Homo-oligomer: A and B are copies of this chain.
Amino acid sequence: MNNFKPFTLLFALIFISALTCGQKKETLAEQLGYPRDAKLLIVHADDIGLSHSVNSATIAAFEKKGINSGSIMVPCPWFPEIAEYAKNHPELDIGIHLTLTAEWKNYKWDGVLPSSEIPSLINEEGYFYASTEEVARNANPDEVEKEIRAQIERAMAFGIKPTHIDTHMGSIGATPELFKKYLKVGKEYNIPVFLPLIFLQALTSEILELVGPEQILVDNFYMISAETPGVPWNESYKQIIESIKPGLNQLILHLAIDDDEMQAITIDHSDFGAAWRQRDLDYAVSEEFKNVLKKNDIHLVTWKAIRKPLKSSSGNN
């Protein structure tokens, strides 16, 4: 999101209005049978496949209905474990967490494609770069396109039918040119892309034109991005949930078991550590979370469910 220009937000809003005018007046909520101003929420687990610890926690959360969606990191070593689970649970809402970085100090991976085909994504040690900034500086958009296609293809070869694609560490949004590839590939595979309204602020008109009427826009997404000292975990989530507005929202959780494996992966990393992820898991499966959602009139929806009415709606345009 480096190319923000002052007029872009205005342009984006006009563009979206234009899209909206051409569509039925029905909101997504109405299409799904909810009141016009319903607060819709996807409860989404990120980073699935990263480790056994993450896989175990995510499976537990799916089975206890603590989450209703999630996305998988295909290049990670534990991908086959979660792929097997996803294949055997086609009812679940599972997408691909497109991955261009390997951010942990002692635990590494590279791309699905041979490194020689994606040299701009590979550091001198032979792995993906650790940061989105390095991806922004180095990535060749055509190589990114090839790699994200390969990640989707591998997922499908393992029996996964991705309900959506999204982006690990936002690295696919590192530059407008990469973002364009994300939209392009999503369109070609006919897979919804995670596209929060706020992302549009950074897009050029050329890229905005790629956002067609079939695109599902996420009005707001929420996650705990840094622990607030003195504020208990459940209180932070309560505040987030109370702030949710009408429209389509996504709550992003990072689940894991706080065990040796996860502690070792997240060593020397300030946020998203093993204890953090265990707290996310504990909260996701808690009665308190369910109660707060209920109290705030939140309706849970999945990528799979929202895709259907939009597909038929876009077919009318």
Chain A positions within 8 Å of B, measured between CB atoms, are: 51-53, 56, 77-81, 84, 105-109, 112, 114-117, 125-126, 154, 157-158, 257, 259-261, 264-265
Contacts and interface: CB of A to CB of B under 8 A. Distances in A.
A56 B106 CA distance: 13
A178 to B, nearest CB: 22
B114 A260 contact: no
B106 A126 contact: no
Contacts of A114: 114-117
B157 A52 contact: no
Nearest to A265: B52
Given A80-B108, A125-B154, 12 more contacts: A52-B106, A52-B264, A53-B260, A56-B260, A77-B77, A80-B125, A81-B264, A114-B114, A114-B116, A125-B158, A259-B259, A259-B260
B52 A261 contact: yes
A56 B158 CA distance: 32
Contacts of A108: 77, 79-80
A210 B258 CA distance: 51
B107 A81 contact: yes
Contact of A77 (B84, B107, B157): B107
A52 B107 contact: yes
A52 B259 CA distance: 11
A51, A56, A264, most chain B CB atoms within 10 A: A264
Nearest to A109: B77
7 contacts: A52-B261, A52-B265, A80-B108, A81-B106, A84-B106, A125-B154, A261-B261
Most central of A79, A81, A116, A265 by chain B CB within 10 Å? A81
A211 to B, nearest CB: 32
For the complex of A and B, 7 pairs with smallest distance between CB atoms: A114-B114, A81-B106, A114-B116, A261-B261, A52-B264, A77-B77, A114-B115
Contacts of A52: 106-107, 260-261, 264-265
A261 B256 CA distance: 12
A226 to B, nearest CB: 26
Contacts of A80: 105-108, 125
A112 B126 contact: yes
Nearest to A118: B114
Contacts of A112: 126
B56 A78 contact: no
Contacts of A51: 261
A232 B53 CA distance: 32
Nearest to A157: B125
A105 B114 CA distance: 22
Contact of A126 (B77, B154, B264, B265): B154
Contacts of A265: 52
Contacts of A157: 125
